[in-house]
Structure formats: C-alpha cells, structure tokens
Amino acid sequence: MTKRRSTPKQATPSADDVVARLRRMGKQSVREGMARFAIPSDNAFGVAVGEMRNYAKEIGRNHELAAELWEAGWYEARMLACFVDDPKEVTPTQMDRWAKDFDSWAICDTACFHLFDRTPHAWSKVRQWAKRKDEFVRRASFALLASLALHEKKGPDEPFAEALALIERYSDDDRNFVKKAINWALRAVGQRSRPLHAASVALAQKLAVSETSCTRWIAKDALRELNGPVVAKRLKNRMA
C-alpha cells in the first residue's frame, strides 16, 4: 500500500515579504479608482479587496503578523491585518490603538466587520467609541453595532434594543461617515427579529420628524428599507 505524502506546511511570510508582494500586486487603475469611493490612496498600492482576501486565506490566521502589518501603515497591509488577525487574541488595548489609526471608512468597516465583532470586547467598544468625538472612532462604534447585528445570529435581542438609545443619542452627528454608519446600524438592528424591527421602526418614525436634517435622513432612509418587502420576507423566514 502506497503511503500518501503529506503536503509540507508553508512557513508564514514575514511582514516585509507580505508588503513586497502587495506592492507587486498593486495596479494603478485600482489605486486611481479608490478616490471614487472616498478612500485615500496616498499610502496605497492599488490592490483589489478580493485579491487581498484571497491572499489572507493563503496566509491563514496569525496575530503577530497582523500586528506587524498594521504597524507597516500601508492601506493594503492594514486591510490584510484585519483579515489574518485572530479575534481570540485581540485585546481591548489593541482595538483602541487601531481605532485611533482609522483614516477611512474602508479600514474602519473592515476591522469591525471581519475582526472586532468576533471578539468578546465588541459590545464594550460599541458603548465606549460612541462617546468619542473622532469621526472614524465614532463611526467604528456604529459599524461594530451593525456588524454584530448581522453576524451574532443566536445572541439575545436585549443588547441591541438597548443600543437603539445610542442611535438616538448620536443621530444629530452630521459628519458623512458617522451618519451613514448610524443609518447602517439602525437598518441592521431592525432586521434581527420582529420585536427589534418594531422598536427600530418606532425610533425611526420618531427621528423622522426631527428638526435636524441629518437625523431625518438617517431615519427616513432606514424606514424605506425596514418597511420594504425584502425585510418583511426576511423576518417571515426567520420566524418560520
């Protein structure tokens, strides 16, 4: 009987090797296109997100490498750090440190959606970061809330119901990247369950008559989705 040869495990590349490869992967057309999505490109190579995610799968989870990639400072290196870091090893201090470095919605949302929401510290950061005045740190609070609403399938409704108070409290923040994250969070929370849908719609209806224009926008845009047929079908399927 012929024995199968095991495939040797590839060594984890160094941060310098990863950055060098990302540099080679970069395309000027991608870099130029980043401006259309309001992503700064001064410190970017121009690598498409799909390519970065495929490369991250090739590397696998590695907390130490993620830390070094983040410190490298390049846009793609930090995106990759979010994909390869191990959420079980992420600390609250690291989350605060990375949040201070957020300089675009892309880095902020990727960290929240692909890493931070999988840590046991997520809910505490939702509450803490909402109070921060930095645009992308406050955005991170609501991007993290939206990510939890979308990914924490079996969690209880209570934390999300309580988080609606944060949405109401900060709905008058008219900074573009903050108000869009608050809107995202309101829509995401409202799709988790029928009770949360009812509570989110009630809040949106209240905010829709606010004297503040950005508050009205957050609410009316959320109502269009929450009262639409797609959400109604999704809630019906969940009940079934």
> Is the model's pLDDT at 132 over the cut of 60?
yes
- pLDDT 10s digits, 2-29: 455 544 456 789 999 999 999 999 999 9
Q: Domain check: are 21 and 55 in the same one?
A: yes
Domain with 218, as residue range(s), is 102-240
How much is the pTM? 0.92
Count of the separate structural domains present in the chain? 2
User: Is 75 inside any structural domain?
Assistant: yes
Find all residues with CB under 8 Å of 93, minimum gap 6, and list them: none
Chain mean pLDDT for the chain? 94
Task: Count Cβ neighbours within 10 Å for each residue of 174-203 and write b for 16 or more, e otherwise.
Answer: eeebbbbbbbbbbbbbbbbbeebbebbbeb
Q: What is the pLDDT of residue 5?
A: 53
pLDDT higher than 50, residue 148? yes
CB 143 within 8 A of CB 161: no
Mean local confidence (pLDDT), 148-155: 91
User: Token pair of 69, please?
Assistant: 């990639």
Q: Looking at the structure, tell me whether residues 126 and 221 fall in a common domain.
A: yes
- Is 49 found in the same domain as 119? no
Q: Does residue 1 sit within a domain? A: no
Asked if the model's pLDDT at residue 42 lies above 70, the reply is yes
- pLDDT at res. 49: 96
> Is there a single domain that holds both residue 106 and residue 81?
no
Q: Are residues 119 and 225 in the same domain?
A: yes
